[in-house]
Structure 1
Amino acid sequence: MPEAVFGWDIGGAHVKAACWAGGQVRDVAQWPCPLWKGLEHLDIALDAAFARWPRLAQAAHAVTMTGEMADCFAHREDGVARIAARLAERLPAPRFFAGEGWCGASDAGANWPAVASANWLATARHTAAALAPEAGLLVDIGSTTTDLIAFGGGRVAGASRRDVDRLASGELVYHGVVRTPLCALARRIPWRGRPLNVMNEFFATTADVYRLSGELDPAHDQHPAADGAAKDEAGSRARLARMIGLDARDADDAEWDRFALAWRAEQLDELRGQLARVAAANGLPGDALAVAAGCGAFLVPEIVPPGWRVRPYVGAVAALAPQAPAESAAWAQVAAPAVAVAALYEREAGRCGS
């Protein structure tokens, strides 16, 4: 097979890609891709990838996806088939991750239940195998969702594979640190000593909270703000004020920044509760290991139980090549499924018909 494998995670909001060779991450990148607006946005992201890596046509390609959920598709089967077909037009013989196996573009539609929304499983399989026989939890907090996946003995724990089942078990939580509407975090929020009903409008997102807390890397903030205005502290304060029927001029900057922390606390409480459910269901020990991934990995130390250990996905699971660009470690954390699917393909290519 070619020397390099490119792993792709085709999401509904971003395209992530990782160059993997010789058991190491060589380069990683992410591009915004509002797939709900049409497949042409996937082409734009692919154009950017070819500009970054001119030799893409000479590499092997392993793909996972969640973008089939975008509402430009009639249903998930349609989304898998059309994404696979478009990628096959641009990339040489891409192989699609199907949980425990692989398929080509022509078979992806027929295998859509295994191909659809399997990116979390790629990361979890890579993590479990790399850390065997350790028991722990993969905690991947992204821009839109959080995955909480138990592993142990070199295998992914739990029987949930479909999103509908993972939503029931707590393994999939629609909370992220960029795109989640604030009205999804709480029904009521405290302001000046009294709880207020939240305005259930798309006035602000979690990116506004983590801009004001200083925790969100601007490089990971790739989509427009809720109102299309400036993605700076002043714009974030104005958007938070709208959530409770006020304007930014109704309080000083310090008070709005404290208000952002109230929203942050609501999100962390929810994530702690969901993590506790998954940990209990899988009998994880009191000194379990949490593997932190995603652009919201900075939250992981605050949501794990006391006594747990926290290690980053890069370093604990994925090795970074010495010649990798300086920013690749941060992007490999964010794009863990793309890294993982490339690593799995390199390991399994001999038995998946590459």
Structure 2
Amino acid sequence: MKIAGFDIGGANTDLAIIDFDQGGDIENIKTDFRYLPMWMKNEELGGYLLDLIGEEIDQLDAVGVSMTAELVDAYETKKDGVLDIVKKVEDTFDIPVAYVGLSGMMNASQAISDPLQVAAANWIATSQIASIMSQNCILVDVGSTTTDIIPIKNGLECARGRSDFERLGTGELAYTGTLRTNVAAIVDKVPFDEGWFRVSSELFAISADVHHVLGNITTEEYSCDTPDSAGKEKEDSLRRISRVLCGDLDLLSTSDIESIGDYIYAQQSLKISEAISEVAEREFLDEVITTGLGRNILAARAVEMAGLDFTGMDEFLTPEECVVAPAVGTAIMMEDYLSDE
């Protein structure tokens, strides 16, 4: 059986196509993703999904979908977003489709009847993979935009928050990520010239610029739009960071900006670490499974700051599969769903 798992995010849409044998074991996984800013291009979703699948469309037996894109500015409410995404997916495929919900997979009619059950539920899919690796742990999934921090006990996720709104209040969602976070949302001042400089609150630079300057990501991995619609070379990122201090490359040297970047990196890691500690102390868990684009960049450092042990999900999946782990988990959940029917 060949199943496609999609994770439709606000900025990126991820795909995992998994071949399962008759016993439900995984034989092969193929992954891909596209930068799709749903706040501008939500009407193009169906075409992007087909483009991602490519020539394998005729071989697919089913499609599973998780989503977080319902929160984008194109929709007045999350309900509106879910309903639009479900409609576009259903219009695109004529094979069995189901959606990741807070209590498992849901068909289209169920998702339409209770749309908030599938809103931003992609962490449910990733938790399924983490629970295979450890029965009692905390999943830390650092993506391009956000970080999920999900407790798992006795092989089951037990997050106290059931929506992004609730998880922001329980430490289970840190709204900071590897690429798309405004630097001004990470720090309000930075050390420079033996003092402290407050930063501008403009959208001059994002976390991708910081990690690019520090060598944590490559130019190719800078997959989102830049704040100034300019280039993605290191000098471009240096210039954008200099503007956060209302400066430029005449005022600040490369060394100056790299030092500032080191501080921003540490503070971003600390924000994630604080959330991890909150969940770990409340749930009495001390083992962490890390995954996502920021698995080695932010998750590992944050866990170390929290004084906990961690295992990378790349001991179970490939590094490329870890980047789209919710899509992988979605395909796995879809296979289980079909097997139970």
TM-score between the two structures when normalised by the length of structure 1: 0.89
Q: Are 1:300 and 1:310, in contact at CA under 8 Å, matched by a contact in 2?
A: no
Flag the 1:312–1:180 CA change in 2: closer, same or farther, 3 A: same
The match for 2:315 is: 315
The match for 1:323 is: none
Q: Are 1:220 and 1:295, in contact at CA under 8 Å, matched by a contact in 2?
A: no
Flag the 1:341–1:29 CA change in 2: closer, same or farther, 3 A: same
Q: Are 2:188 and 2:198, in contact at CA under 8 Å, matched by a contact in 1?
A: yes
Q: Are 2:174 and 2:271, in contact at CA under 8 Å, matched by a contact in 1?
A: no
- The answer on 1:55 being equivalent to 2:70 is no
Measure the CA separation in 2 of the matches of 1:238 and 1:36.
Answer: 27
The match for 1:325 is: none
The match for 1:121 is: 124
Q: Residue deviations 1:228-259, cap 9 Å, x none?
A: 11111100111011001111121321221111
Measure the CA separation in 2 of the matches of 1:244 and 1:20.
Answer: 47
Q: CA deviation at 1:102?
A: 2.2
Q: CA deviation at 1:132?
A: 4.6
Flag the 1:209–1:132 CA change in 2: closer, same or farther, 3 A: closer
Deviating more after overlay: 153-162 vs 3-12: 153-162
The match for 1:93 is: 96
- Count how many residue pairs are aligned between Structure 1 and Structure 2: 333
The match for 1:296 is: 294
Q: Residue deviations 1:254-291, cap 9 Å, x none?
A: 22111111111111111111111111111113xx2x21
Q: Which amino acid aligns with 2:198?
A: N
The match for 2:137 is: 136
Alignment of 1:1-354 (within 5 A): 3-22=1-20, 23-24=25-26, 25-51=28-54, 53-56=55-58, 58-91=60-93, 92-128=95-131, 130-133=132-135, 135-285=136-286, 288=287, 290-298=288-296, 299-305=298-304, 308-316=308-316, 318=317, 329-351=318-340, 353=341
Q: CA deviation at 1:184?
A: 0.2
Q: CA deviation at 1:72?
A: 0.8
Measure the CA separation in 1 of the matches of 2:12 and 2:292.
Answer: 13
Q: CA deviation at 1:152?
A: 2.2
Flag the 1:149–1:273 CA change in 2: closer, same or farther, 3 A: same
Q: Secondary structure of the residue that 1:186 maps to in structure 2?
A: coil
Q: Are 1:240 and 1:256, in contact at CA under 8 Å, matched by a contact in 2?
A: yes
Q: CA deviation at 1:56?
A: 4.9
Q: Are 1:139 and 1:146, in contact at CA under 8 Å, matched by a contact in 2?
A: yes
Task: State, as a whole percentage, how many aligned pairs show the same letter.
Answer: 27
Q: Residue deviations 1:283-319, cap 9 Å, x none?
A: 113xx2x211111111222111476332222333x4x
Q: Residue deviations 1:112-153, cap 9 Å, x none?
A: 12111000111113321x1353x2111100100001111121
Q: Are 1:62 and 1:342, in contact at CA under 8 Å, matched by a contact in 2?
A: yes
Q: Are 2:212 and 2:222, in contact at CA under 8 Å, matched by a contact in 1?
A: no
Q: CA deviation at 1:220?
A: 3.3
CA RMSD of aligned residues (A): 1.7
Measure the CA separation in 2 of the matches of 1:50 and 1:338.
Answer: 13
Q: Secondary structure of the residue that 1:120 maps to in structure 2?
A: helix
Deviating more after overlay: 86-95 vs 207-216: 86-95
Q: Which amino acid aligns with 2:75?
A: F
Measure the CA separation in 2 of the matches of 1:349 and 1:111.
Answer: 21
Q: Are 2:269 and 2:299, in contact at CA under 8 Å, matched by a contact in 1?
A: no
Flag the 1:132–1:223 CA change in 2: closer, same or farther, 3 A: closer
Q: Which amino acid aligns with 2:196?
A: P
Q: Are 2:2 and 2:59, in contact at CA under 8 Å, matched by a contact in 1?
A: no
Measure the CA separation in 2 of the matches of 1:132 and 1:140.
Answer: 15
Measure the CA separation in 1 of the matches of 2:134 and 2:209.
Answer: 38
Q: CA deviation at 1:85?
A: 0.8
Q: Which amino acid aligns with 2:14?
A: K
Q: Secondary structure of the residue that 1:28 maps to in structure 2?
A: strand
Flag the 1:112–1:19 CA change in 2: closer, same or farther, 3 A: same
Deviating more after overlay: 26-35 vs 84-93: 84-93
Q: Residue deviations 1:327-348, cap 9 Å, x none?
A: xx33311111000011122123
Q: Are 2:100 and 2:124, in contact at CA under 8 Å, matched by a contact in 1?
A: no
Q: Unmatched 5+ residue regions in structure 2?
A: none
Q: Which amino acid aligns with 1:279?
A: A
